[in-house]
Amino acid sequence: MSPIPKSSALQLSSLARELGAEALRGRLERNEAGRWMVGHIEIESWLSRHQGLEVVLAVAAIDEEAPMSYMRVCRTCGNEYEGRVCPHCEAVRRRLRGG
């Protein structure tokens, strides 16, 4: 598996949450007992909540050397933009507020 840019991995996790799925983000490590952990969450116990269900499990290794993209995707309108706020949605907010 090839690492993917961090921005792509974060989009994948955000989309999963928006669709009502669960997503974990963090470094995959083993604890002292030999159990797999992502951050402070033990993977085996996390997965046991879904026992007996059909699931899709996606893992994305993050390329930490690739620079973060400065382009963002607006969660409201879907437009790509640079900066802190989506210019399209900001203009709509100003227009609706009468400012």
Each domain of the chain, given as residue ranges in start order, spans 1-64, 69-99
pLDDT per residue as tens digits for the range 18-40: 899 999 988 999 999 999 999 89
Query: In the prediction, which pLDDT does 99 show?
Result: 61
Q: What is the mean pLDDT of the chain?
A: 87
Q: What is the mean pLDDT of residues 70-91?
A: 86
Find tokens 């983000």 and name the residue: 25
Could you count the other beta carbons within 10 Å of the beta carbon of residue 29?
10
Pick the more confident residue, 97 or 83.
97
With 70 as the cut, is the pLDDT of residue 68 above it? no
Backbone torsions φ then ψ of 73, nearest 5 degrees: -115, 125
Query: In the prediction, which pLDDT does 12 show?
Result: 87
Pick the more confident residue, 6 or 56.
56
CA distances to 30, 48, 57, 72 from 40, rounded to whole Å, are: 11, 16, 19, 28
Answering whether pTM is above 0.75, one says no
